[in-house]
Amino acid sequence: MGCSSCGTKSGGGCSPAGCKSNGTCGTSGCNALNVYDWFRDMELPDDFTPFNIVEVRFKGSRKEFFRNTNRLDLYTGDYVAVESSVGFDIGTVSATGEIVRLQLKKYRVQEDSERILPILRKATDKDLEKNEEVKQKENSTLERARTIAFRLNLQMKISDIEIQGDGRKVIFFYTAEQRVDFRELIRLYADEFRMKIEMRHISYREEASRLGGIGVCGRQLCCSTWLTDYKMVTTGAARVQNLSINMEKLAGQCGRLKCCLNYELDLYVEALDKFPKAKMVKLETATGMAYSRKTDILKQLMWFSYEDNQTWIALEVEKVKEYLEENKQGKTIPPLQDIAAASQVMEQTASQAPEFIGGAELLEDRELEAEIRKNRQDKGRHQHPHNKGGQRQPHNQGGNPHGKPHHRGPDNRGPKRDNRGPRPPHQNSGPKPNNPPKS
């Protein structure tokens, strides 16, 4: 059978693109606001009646439950016309079947609640055209609504609006710090827009969820993609993670503390259990009392210093616990400088021994190593001037017509001049020349 929204055919029904379970035909892929159906491939008994409540998603993150009284064959991504308090509305099916039972428990909605309205029909082409027509009026309506609210000098902010699919009702989503008397505002809106007006107060986090945006991490906001419930975030989460209490950095686009402060909180709390419970840890050393100045939770380090010396020395948490036990027994630990020096010696001993080539330490810089080797070769040629014939090699061999010595290395200092003339030959270097060298 075919799907009314994408027209595909696949055995038992529509199989939208993407992961074929929570994808939508409109986006050809997975939508973060849809629900993954874990029971999609579960085989049901022949006489089993499918669950008749369907989850439907509207603009933004708004979701509601509707009863499939007409037993329509619905799949994820289908557009349906649902009953409203005034007329009907157009939404998208986001979940069907047994997974909706879990969604009802999650949002604490009773299955026999009178608030669950029925689904009228699958959306027709005429319904979709009407819905698209009213959606194009939302921007101009929002701009006009904000102008009227500003004229009345109301302490509120209209963040978003949603016009019903048939154009007979409009919902204004607003945020406010305190109670707002908008009776005059509703009267003006009704005269201006000729629709039923509903004012719905939302929190600042819900406002950011509806509007969306990019966070400081470079990704889309969690509240507008996958986060569905907003847990309380306090400054205690920042203190546990050793973050400075700077609201400009800790606040998100909603103006409240970032939800991501709770993501790694459990990890920090577990790591802090290994640290001493006292706020100010004191170590009694041979040179005086040392006080804790800073802690690195993830590296499990604590920094200590003396009152008259601001040099901080890092110690491992396990070592700190051992020293505290020694202090409880009446023992005095060595000075912090000796402890730090001993730990450095142990680290160097435990590290891998350096490699050697020809008695010299292996250099990490390969270019410097090649330069040293070349200097050694040049030095060897000067110290051993004998050739196979037993006579000294002159300096002008190798293409140097002026008889000057070769360069000493690639240090760009130029050739070293020798004003003393050529050296006298060795005693065993053969017959002496007729003309001895000048002094």
User: SS in 3 state form for the chain?
Assistant: CECCCCCCECCCCCCCCCCCCCEECCCCEECCCCCCCCCCCCCCCCCCCCCCEEEEECCCCCEEEEECCCCCCCCCCCEEEEECCCCEEEEEEEECCCHHHHHHHHCCCCCCCCCCEEEEEECCHHHHHHHHHHHCCHHHHHHHHHHHHHHCCCCCEEEEEEECCCCCEEEEEEECCCCCCCHHHHHHHHHHHCCEEEEEECCHHHHHHHHCCECCCCCECHHHCCCCCCCCCCHHHHHHCCCCCCHHHHECCCCCECHHHHCCHHHHHHHHCCCCCCCCCEEEECCEEEEEEEEECCCCEEEEEECCEEEEEEEEHHHHHHHHHHHHCCCCECCHHHHHHHHHHHHHHHCCCCCEECCEECCCCHHHHHHHHHHHHHHHHHHCCECCCCCECCCCCCCCCCCCCCCCCCCCCCCCCCCCCCCCCCCCCCCCCCCCCCC
Q: Which of 350, 366, 399 marks a domain boundary? A: 350
Residues 33 and 73 in one domain: yes
Residues 96 and 161 in one domain: no
Q: Which of 350, 382, 403 marks a domain boundary? A: 350
Residues 238 and 302 in one domain: no
Residues 49 and 114 in one domain: yes
Residues 46 and 72 in one domain: yes
Residues 190 and 105 in one domain: no
Residues 228 and 259 in one domain: yes
Q: Residue 395: pLDDT above 70?
A: no
Residue 118 counted as domain residue: yes
User: Which residues span the domain enclosing 175?
Assistant: 133-202
Residue 408 counted as domain residue: no
Residue 117 counted as domain residue: yes
Q: What is the pLDDT of residues 154-202, one digit of tens each?
A: 989 999 999 999 999 999 999 998 888 888 999 999 999 999 999 999 9
The most confident of the ranges 191-195, 313-317, 327-331, 398-402 is 191-195
Q: Which of 73, 97, 123 marks a domain boundary? A: 123
Q: What is the pLDDT of residues 359-390, one digit of tens each?
A: 344 444 566 667 777 776 776 665 554 544 44
- What pTM does this model have? 0.59
Q: How many domains does the chain have?
A: 4
